[in-house]
C-alpha cells in the first residue's frame, strides 16, 4: 500500500513530467472552456491570445485559427481525431514561433484534447525542400515538354530551337531579339515579373518561377521557368540559359488542393498562411524592383453585436458578403485575406499609399451601401505603405492596424492612412 | 547584522516589497510571504523558491533550485512576455497580468518582474 509520502512523491513526478512536456497539451469543453493546460501550451497560447488569457481555447486562437471552432463543432462523433497537425500561422502576432501545428482529439461528448507544437523550423525546411524539389524535377524529369534556349546579356532571346517552337508555337523570327515578356499571357501579366526573374538570376546565379504563358495560338499554359546566368571568366554575365517546362497537367491536379490550403473555408478569401506567404514574396519583389507595396487592414464595425443580436449564421453571412463586395473592388494581383475573426487584410503590390486609400474607400463605400443582408454593416479600414523605415510585413501590418484603430476611434465607417496624408480632402468617394 | 524573520514578513505587500529586501532575506522570511517568490541568477538558474510558490506549483524547493527556471518550473513564461524581458531589459519593476498553469489548472495571476544592476538576483513575484 502506498503511504502519503510516496503518493506525494509520485504526484510531484507526474507534475514535473507534465511541466516539462515539450508539446502543449490542453483539455477543454466543446465550448472551448479550458479545464487543464500544461505550461508549454500556456507559453505558446498566451502571446497569441487576443485577451492574453487561456480561459477559452477557441477564443485564445480566434485571431490565428478561427476555423478551429467550426471544425470542432462540425465533428460528427463523440470520439475520434478531429484534426491532425493542423497548421496555424501565428506570424504577425509578435516575436516567437511563426507556425504551430495543432491536433485535436475528441475523447467524449463534452471533452477535447489539443496538442500544440512549434513547427516553425519544420515549415522553413519544407519550404526549402519544396524549392529544391521543383528545381530537381525541372532538371531530371522527361525531356519532351522542355524548351531550351538562351538570352543575351540584356535579357533578349538570342537563340531559339525546335524544343522552343514545339512548346510555344512561335517561330524563331517572331521572338529573336525580343524579351521573355512576349510569351507571358497579357491579361494576367504582372508587369516586370520576367524582367525581375532575369535580374534575380543575374544576382544569385539562377532563378526558378512558375508563370502562366500563352502559346502563339492563344492557348494558355503553366510553365516552370528556370533562368541560369552564364558567366564569363571574370564573373561578368554573358547571357542566360533558359529552361521552360510545361507543368499545366500537374498544375490542374494540384489546383483544387491549392485552393483548399490557401483559402478560408467560410468566406473564400485567402487564409492567413497564404497571405503571409504571398506578402513575403511581394516584399522581396518590392525591395528588388522599387515598386511600391501597400496593405489595407479592415475590420467589421460592431461585429460582436451582429453575432450576439442576429446569431452566428448572420455573422457568417455578413463576412461572406463583405468578401464578395471587397473582391469586386480589387484587381487580380491584390490579395484579400481573412486574418482571423472579423479581421481582414488586403495586400496591394505595385500600389502606393494614395491609391491604396482610394481602393480602401471604394471597399468601404461598397460595403456600407450593400443591401439584402439581415443587418447592415460598415467597415473601418487602415492603410499603410512599405518604406525604408518599416523592416517587415509584420511591422507594415502593425502600421495599418494602428491606422485602423484610429479609424475606429474616429467613429468607424471610414478610412485612415498611416502616416496621415497631408490633405485628407484628397480622399474622394469613387 | 540585519535580522529578518517570520514576523517581519507579515504585512509586506506584493506590489510594494523592495527587491533589495528580497536579496537579503532569509528562508523563513521568504517562506512567510503570502505570495510566490522566485529568484533567478543572471543565467536564469533558480536560486530562490519560496514555500508559497512551491505550494502553488506542487513542486518541492529542492526539485527546482539549481535548475534553469524557464526551462523547468516556469515553462509557461518562457516567451517574449516574461522570460525574454529579463534578457532584453536592464531595469524592470513592473506588474503584468498573466495566466499560470499551476497543477495544469490555468490560473490568472499578477506577476511582478524585478531586475536591476545592483540586485543579486532577478525576481519574479507571483500573486494569485
Q: Which DSSP category does B94 fall into?
A: E
**Domain architecture of chain A: domains with CATH:** 12-118 (3.30.450.20), 126-247 (3.30.450.20), 263-426 (3.30.70.270)
* pLDDT given for residue A250 in this prediction: 67
* pLDDT given for residue A251 in this prediction: 64
Select the residue of B77, B84, B101 nearest A38 (Cβ to Cβ): B101
- Give the mean pLDDT of B23-27: 91
Report the 10 Å Cβ neighbour count for B104.
22
Interface test with B, best of A9, A10, A16 (most B CBs within 10 A): A16
Q: Please give the interface size between A and B, counted as residue pairs whose CB atoms are below 8 Å apart.
A: 78
- Note the Cα A110 to chain centre separation in Å: 33
Q: Strands B122-127 and B36-40, how do they pair? A: antiparallel
d(CA B25, CA B10): 13
Task: Give A54's contacts in chain B (Cβ within 8 Å).
Answer: 99, 106
Higher-pLDDT residue of A249 and A388 is A388
Whole-number average pLDDT of chain A: 85
CA distance, residue B102 to nearest chain A CA (Å): 8
* pLDDT given for residue A421 in this prediction: 42
- Give the mean pLDDT of A18-26: 90
Cβ–Cβ under 8 Å, residues A99 and A87: yes
Q: Strand A220-231: give its sheet, edge to edge.
A: A157-159, A146-152, A237-246, A220-231, A206-214
d(CA B51, CA B56): 9
* pLDDT given for residue B7 in this prediction: 52
- Give the mean pLDDT of A202-221: 84
Higher-pLDDT residue of A196 and B127 is B127
pLDDT at B36 over 90: yes
Cell digits for A390? 518599416
* From A191-200, A381-390, B52-61, the region with the lowest mean pLDDT: A191-200
Report the 10 Å Cβ neighbour count for A107.
12
CA distance, residue A79 to nearest chain B CA (Å): 23
* pLDDT given for residue B48 in this prediction: 95
* pLDDT given for residue A381 in this prediction: 97
Q: Do B78 and A43 touch (CB under 8 A)?
A: yes
- Comparing C-alpha atoms, which of A225, A195, A193, A190 is closest to residue A210? A225
Q: Do B59 and A15 touch (CB under 8 A)?
A: yes
Select the residue of A40, A44, A46 nearest B99 (Cβ to Cβ): A46
* pLDDT given for residue A212 in this prediction: 81
Half-sphere exposure of B71 (CA within 13 A, CB side): 7
* pLDDT given for residue A182 in this prediction: 76
Cβ–Cβ under 8 Å, residues A64 and A48: yes
Report the 10 Å Cβ neighbour count for B44.
17
* pLDDT given for residue A98 in this prediction: 82
Instruction: Tell me the percentage of chain A whose pLDDT exceeds 90.
Output: 37
Q: Do B80 and A12 touch (CB under 8 A)?
A: no
* pLDDT given for residue A422 in this prediction: 44
* pLDDT given for residue A92 in this prediction: 67
H or E segment to which residue A357 belongs: helix A353-368
Select the residue of A12, A34, A40 nearest B59 (Cβ to Cβ): A12
B87 close contact with A: CB closer than 8 A: no
Quick: pLDDT tens for B78-111: 998 999 999 999 999 999 999 998 888 999 999 9
List phi, psi (to 5°) of A131. Answer: -65, -45
Task: Give A100's contacts in chain B (Cβ within 8 Å).
Answer: none
- Give the mean pLDDT of A44-51: 90
B63 close contact with A: CB closer than 8 A: yes
pLDDT at A132 over 90: no
The CATH class of the B17-127 domain is: alpha beta
d(CA A13, CA A278): 46
Domain residue limits, chain B = 17-127
DSSP code per residue over A13-79: HHHHHHHH-SSEEEEE-TT-BEEEE-HHHHHHHHHHSTTS--SBHHHHTTTT-THHHHHHHH--SSS
Cβ–Cβ under 8 Å, residues A294 and A356: yes
- Give the mean pLDDT of B27-38: 93
- Comparing C-alpha atoms, which of A217, A218, A209 is closest to residue A244? A209
Quick: pLDDT tens for A166-197: 888 899 898 898 888 777 765 455 566 777 88
Quick: pLDDT tens for B72-82: 889 889 998 99
Strand partners, A379: A300
CA distance, residue A333 to nearest chain B CA (Å): 35
Q: Do A34 and B106 touch (CB under 8 A)?
A: yes
pLDDT at A424 over 70: no
Quick: pLDDT tens for A222-257: 888 889 888 877 778 888 989 888 877 766 666 666
Cβ–Cβ under 8 Å, residues A412 and A301: yes
- Give the mean pLDDT of A316-330: 93
Quick: pLDDT tens for B43-55: 999 999 999 999 9
- Give the mean pLDDT of A141-165: 80
* pLDDT given for residue A138 in this prediction: 58
- pLDDT-based confidence at residue A220 (cuts at 50, 70, 90): confident
Strand partners, A380: A299
Task: Give B78's contacts in chain A (Cβ within 8 Å).
Answer: 43
- Comparing C-alpha atoms, which of B81, B86, B110, B60 is closest to residue A19? B60
Strand partners, A86: A102
- Comparing C-alpha atoms, which of A323, A318, A324 is closest to residue A306? A318
Amino acid at each position: 500500500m502506498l503511504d502519503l509520502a510516496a503518493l506525494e512523491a509520485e504526484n510531484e513526478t507526474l507534475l514535473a513530467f507534465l511541466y516539462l512536456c515539450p508539446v502543449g497539451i490542453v483539455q477543454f469543453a466543446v465550448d472551448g472552456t479550458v479545464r487543464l493546460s500544461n505550461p508549454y501550451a500556456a507559453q505558446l497560447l498566451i502571446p497569441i491570445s487576443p485577451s492574453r488569457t487561456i480561459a477559452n481555447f477557441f477564443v485564445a486562437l480566434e485571431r490565428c485559427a478561427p476555423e478551429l471552432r467550426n471544425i470542432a463543432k462540425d465533428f460528427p462523433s463523440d470520439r475520434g481525431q478531429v484534426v491532425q497537425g493542423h497548421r496555424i500561422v501565428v506570424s504577425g502576432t509578435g516575436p516567437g514561433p511563426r507556425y504551430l501545428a495543432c491536433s485535436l482529439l475528441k475523447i467524449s461528448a463534452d471533452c477535447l484534447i489539443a496538442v500544440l507544437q512549434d513547427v516553425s523550423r519544420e515549415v522553413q525546411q519544407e519550404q526549402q525542400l519544396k524549392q529544391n524539389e521543383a528545381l530537381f524535377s525541372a532538371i531530371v524529369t522527361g525531356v519532351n515538354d522542355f524548351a531550351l534556349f538562351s538570352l543575351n546579356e540584356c535579357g533578349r532571346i538570342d537563340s531559339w530551337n525546335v524544343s522552343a517552337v514545339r512548346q510555344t508555337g512561335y517561330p524563331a523570327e517572331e521572338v529573336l531579339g525580343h524579351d521573355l515578356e512576349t510569351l507571358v499571357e497579357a491579361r494576367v501579366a504582372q508587369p516586370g515579373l520576367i524582367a525581375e526573374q532575369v535580374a534575380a538570376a543575374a544576382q544569385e546565379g539562377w532563378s526558378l518561377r512558375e508563370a502562366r504563358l500563352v502559346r502563339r495560338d492563344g492557348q494558355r499554359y503553366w510553365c516552370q521557368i528556370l533562368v541560369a546566368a552564364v558567366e564569363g571568366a571574370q564573373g561578368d554575365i554573358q547571357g542566360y540559359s533558359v529552361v521552360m517546362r510545361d507543368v499545366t497537367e500537374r498544375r490542374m491536379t494540384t489546383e483544387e488542393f491549392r485552393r483548399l490550403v490557401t483559402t478560408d473555408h467560410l468566406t473564400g478569401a485567402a487564409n492567413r498562411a497564404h497571405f503571409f506567404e504571398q506578402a513575403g514574396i511581394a516584399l522581396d519583389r518590392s525591395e528588388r524592383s522599387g515598386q511600391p507595396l501597400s496593405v489595407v487592414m479592415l475590420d467589421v464595425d460592431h461585429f460582436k453585436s451582429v453575432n450576439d443580436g442576429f446569431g452566428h449564421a448572420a455573422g457568417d453571412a455578413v463576412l461572406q458578403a463583405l468578401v464578395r463586395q471587397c473582391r469586386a473592388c480589387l484587381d487580380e494581383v491584390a490579395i484579400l485575406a481573412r486574418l482571423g475573426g472579423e479581421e481582414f487584410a488586403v495586400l496591394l503590390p505595385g500600389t502606393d499609399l494614395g491609391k491604396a486609400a482610394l481602393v480602401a474607400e471604394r471597399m468601404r463605400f461598397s460595403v456600407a451601401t450593400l443591401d439584402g443582408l439581415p443587418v447592415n454593416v460598415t467597415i473601418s479600414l487602415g492603410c499603410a505603405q512599405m518604406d525604408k523605415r518599416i523592416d517587415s510585413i509584420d511591422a507594415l501590418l502593425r502600421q495599418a492596424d494602428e491606422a485602423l484603430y484610429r479609424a475606429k476611434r474616429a467613429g468607424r465607417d471610414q478610412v485612415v492612412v498611416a502616416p496621415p496624408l497631408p490633405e485628407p480632402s484628397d480622399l474622394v468617394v469613387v | 547584522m540585519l535580522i529578518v524573520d517570520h514576523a517581519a514578513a507579515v504585512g509586506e505587500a506584493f506590489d510594494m516589497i523592495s527587491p533589495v529586501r528580497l536579496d537579503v532575506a532569509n528562508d523563513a522570511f521568504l517562506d512567510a510571504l503570502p505570495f510566490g517568490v522566485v529568484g533567478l541568477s543572471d543565467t536564469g538558474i533558480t536560486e530562490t523558491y519560496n514555500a508559497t510558490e512551491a505550494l502553488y506549483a506542487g513542486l518541492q524547493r529542492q526539485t527546482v533550485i539549481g535548475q534553469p527556471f524557464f526551462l523547468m518550473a516556469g515553462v509557461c513564461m518562457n516567451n517574449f512576455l516574461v522570460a525574454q524581458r529579463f534578457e532584453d531589459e536592464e531595469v524592470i519593476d513592473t506588474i503584468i497580468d498573466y495566466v499560470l498553469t499551476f497543477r495544469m489548472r490555468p490560473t490568472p495571476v499578477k506577476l511582478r518582474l524585478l531586475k536591476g544592476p545592483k540586485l543579486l538576483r532577478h525576481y519574479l513575484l507571483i500573486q494569485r
